[in-house]
A = this chain, B = another copy of it.
Amino acid sequence: MSAAARARRLDERAEIVVLERGAHVSFANCGLPYFVGGEIADESSLLVQTPSSLRAALALDVRTGHDVLGLDITRRVVSVRTIDGDYEIAYDDLILAPGARSVRPPIPGLDSPRVRTLRSVDDATSLRRTVDRGIRRAVVLGAGFIGIEAAEVLARRGLAVSLVDVASHPLPPLERELAAVVTAELRALGVDLHLGVAADAIEQHDEEDVVILSDGARLAADLVVLSVGVRPDTEVFEAAGVGCERGAIIVDGHGRTTVPNVWAVGDAVLSVDGVTGARRPIALAGPANRAGRLVADAIFRPEHARMLPAPTGTAIVRVGDQVAALTGANRQALDAAEVDYVTLHLHPNQHAGYFPGATQVHLVVHAATSNGRLLGAQAVGRDGVDKRIDVLATAIRAGLSVEDLIDLDLAYSPPFGQAKDPVNLTGMLGENVRTGALRLWYADELAAVLDRALLLDVRTAAEVAAGAVRGAMHIPHTELRGRIEEVRSAAGGRPIRVMCQSGVRSAIAHRVLAQEGFDSASLSGGMLTLRAWWGGEASEILERPEAMQHA
């Protein structure tokens, strides 16, 4: 619809026909879970435009209930099926925007009427009616963005919700140490998590379905929401000769497919990641909307057509009172692409700590080792997460380095930020690491550190009493200068690995130790990141782990 609307604005005389298989165009896809949950009250709110409003405003010929059966690239015709019969329609230019359909894994029993997806207005209205009937138990298969949203809204509606994913944590694109916050929040919402397991089968009974998991668990369900991902809905076009790669349509920088006068945009299209070179479809609303506009430009005013940008993949999800967001590449993508990078962990407040309502934003940022270029960023927190990820997404798009973040003049007054905003702090931390003023060690190295180094915890006695790593030496950072000889003696020539709660005080301690000549490093993200990283395994490495869970 973005392409069609843009086309009309550029050309009053073009004949513009939109073919849509379903009953609706321009509906609020991303609002569907919130309609099921009741936050969006009326179905009509989901219908952003209708065929008649589009005809009135933009003279568009929108034909719903039109299923495209075939494409003849030689004769330049599309064949469509309608309730009134089949026909052909000719084109000068054709824009393919078929989107994606839900992946349906080969699970016996998946054909149960209790198994639903959440892709269309009809899906959403049907799901809401089902929930309104007063069912009690839902199983959500897939803990990606849609699965998380579905689990959240169903839990808010009072259902007993189980959430299942083969990945070891919810929101698999999120880094492990941030996902811990999402896991905790889902549990706080009452969601029963089954991670690292697959659904093997769905037994259909009269009164209920039972989802059988690979670990043997049996989950009774009145409703099963299938949200294990999507794949491009391109069979018709691939069969007609449009070049695809693993089902995704191949396009050039202007949205041209391999077939003359055939263009493609949206979830069905192959994107090439600007950072990692990874080739995959990106199912996100923003890039799809903007690509539609750009393709219309390429057709109707090629002299002004701009290139489709490589997607940054920015995404966000609300989970209870928490928000998780990410942009750019994550650790897994960078490792796969064999990029050398440094990772930064921060836990600053979203606004001045002395102003009411201050809460932490948990940040993970990756920057290239070679030149400091920002590669990816993720954040979790109650407030201010979207702002920091949007700023970082802008910085990544602009090709800024982590050091450039120091210089950003961001809006500050106590209700809105800090004089050193979390984004500025990220820049300062990155500069310290890249210039050697700071050396980091990471939570995943803990076993090796305990084996070969002196672990020095520089938090206060009260913090240590509430949970600490077994075997660590404790000296508050304010006492360190006076107790250097104790450290030297305890280390006995071993390296010192420092830690505190969030990584700020351990960085100060590291500076003291490094200038004393020690082989020293500071734990990235401190105890907050360490605890999140180790999660369920924390009890083996921590003293008083029970106390820590409530710290």
Q: Interface with B: A77-85, A99-107, A393-401, which one?
A: A393-401
Residues of B within 8 A of A20 (CB): none
Q: CB < 8 Å: which of B389, B399, B407 contacts A290?
A: B407
A36-60 interface bits toward B, Cβ cutoff 8 Å, 1 = contact, 0 = none: 0001100001101000000011110
Determine whether the beta carbon of B511 is less than 8 Å from that of A12: yes
> Is the pair A323, B9 in contact by a Cβ cutoff of 8 Å?
no
A interface, CB within 8 angstroms of B: 9-13, 28, 30-31, 34, 39-40, 45-46, 48, 56-59, 145, 149, 284-290, 293, 301, 304, 306, 309, 311-318, 323, 325, 327, 352-356, 386-387, 389-391, 393-395, 397-400, 403-404, 406-417, 419-421, 423-424, 428, 431, 435, 437, 477-478, 481, 505, 507-508, 511-512, 515-516
On whether the beta carbons of A12 and B56 are closer than 8 Å, the reply is no
| A515 engages B410 (CB within 8 Å) | no
B386–A408 touching, CB < 8 Å: no
Contact B304 A9 (CB under 8 A): no
CB distance from A49 to the nearest CB of B (A): 12
Q: A10-B511, A31-B355, A390-B391 are in contact. List 16 more A-B contacts (CB 8 A).
A: A9-B437, A30-B352, A40-B356, A40-B414, A285-B412, A286-B424, A289-B419, A293-B406, A311-B409, A314-B411, A316-B416, A327-B409, A393-B410, A393-B411, A394-B394, A394-B398
Report which of B285, B404, B408, B478 forms a contact with A56, defined as CB distance below 8 A: B478
Residues of B within 8 A of A505 (CB): 57
Say which residue of B12, B411, B423 sits within 8 Å of A389 (CB atoms). B411
Q: Given contacts A9-B508, A406-B290, is CB(A386)–CB(B411) below 8 Å?
A: yes
Residue of B nearest to A389 (CB): B411
Can you list 21 contacts pairing A with B, beta carbon distance less than 8 Å?
A: A10-B437, A10-B511, A12-B516, A28-B354, A30-B412, A34-B414, A48-B354, A56-B478, A286-B424, A304-B431, A304-B435, A311-B409, A318-B413, A386-B387, A387-B387, A387-B390, A390-B417, A393-B408, A397-B407, A397-B409, A398-B404
Decide if B386 touches A416 in the complex (CB within 8 Å): yes
For the complex, what is the distance from the CA of A315 to the CA of B403, rounded to whole Å?
A: 22
Known: A391-B394, A515-B12. A31 touches B386 (CB 8 A): no
Closest beta carbon of chain B to A124's beta carbon, Å: 12
Across-interface contacts of A327 in B (CB, < 8 A): 409, 411
Name the residue of chain B whose CB is nearest to the CB of A514.
Answer: B12
Contacts A314-B410, A316-B411 given; does A323 touch B437 at CB 8 Å? no
* Interchain nearest-CB distance for A432 vs B (Å): 8
B421 adjacent to A286 (CB under 8 Å): yes
Contacts of A293 in B (CB 8 A): 406, 428
CA distance A481 to B8 in the complex (A): 12
* CB–CB A508/B407 < 8 A: no
Please determine whether B414 and A31 come into contact, CB atoms closer than 8 angstroms.
Answer: yes
CB neighbours of A435 from chain B (8 A) = 301, 304
Residue among A31, A312, A419, A423 with max Cβ neighbours from chain B (10 Å): A419
Chain B residues within 8 Å of A325, by CB: 411
In the docked arrangement, what's the CA distance between A317 and B445, Å?
Answer: 44
- The CA-CA distance from A16 to B428 in the complex, in Å, is 21
Chain B contacts for A412, CB-based, 8 A:
30, 284-286, 314-316
- A386 contacts across to B, CB distance below 8 A: 387, 411, 416-417
Contacts A30-B412, A409-B313, A410-B314; A354 near B46 (Cβ below 8 A): yes
Instruction: Report B-chain residues with C-beta under 8 Å of the C-beta of A290.
Output: 406-407, 420, 424
Q: Cβ of A397: which chain B residues have Cβ within 8 Å of it? A: 404, 407-409
Closest 3 CB pairs between A and B?
A: A398-B398, A316-B411, A56-B478
List B contacts of A400 (CB < 8 A): 394, 398
Name the CB-closest residue of B to A325: B411
Tell me if A410 and B39 are in contact (CB < 8 A).
no
A355 touches B394 (CB 8 A): no
Q: Whose C-beta in chain B lies nearest to the C-beta of A507?
A: B9
Query: Which residues of chain B are near A437, meaning CB under 8 Å?
Result: 9-10, 301, 304
Chain B residue at smallest Cβ distance from A39: B356
Query: Can you name the residue of chain B whose Cβ is closest to the Cβ of A29?
Result: B419
Distance of A105 Cα from B315 Cα, bound (Å): 52
Question: Considering the chains assembled together, what is the distance between the CA atoms of A527 and B80 in angstroms?
Answer: 44
Q: Are B30 and A414 in contact (CB-based, < 8 A)?
A: yes
A300 → chain B, closest Cβ, in Å? 10
A355 touching B39 by the CB < 8 A rule? yes
CB contacts (< 8 Å) of A391 on chain B: these are 390-391, 394
Q: How far is the CB of A510 from chain B (nearest CB, A)?
A: 9
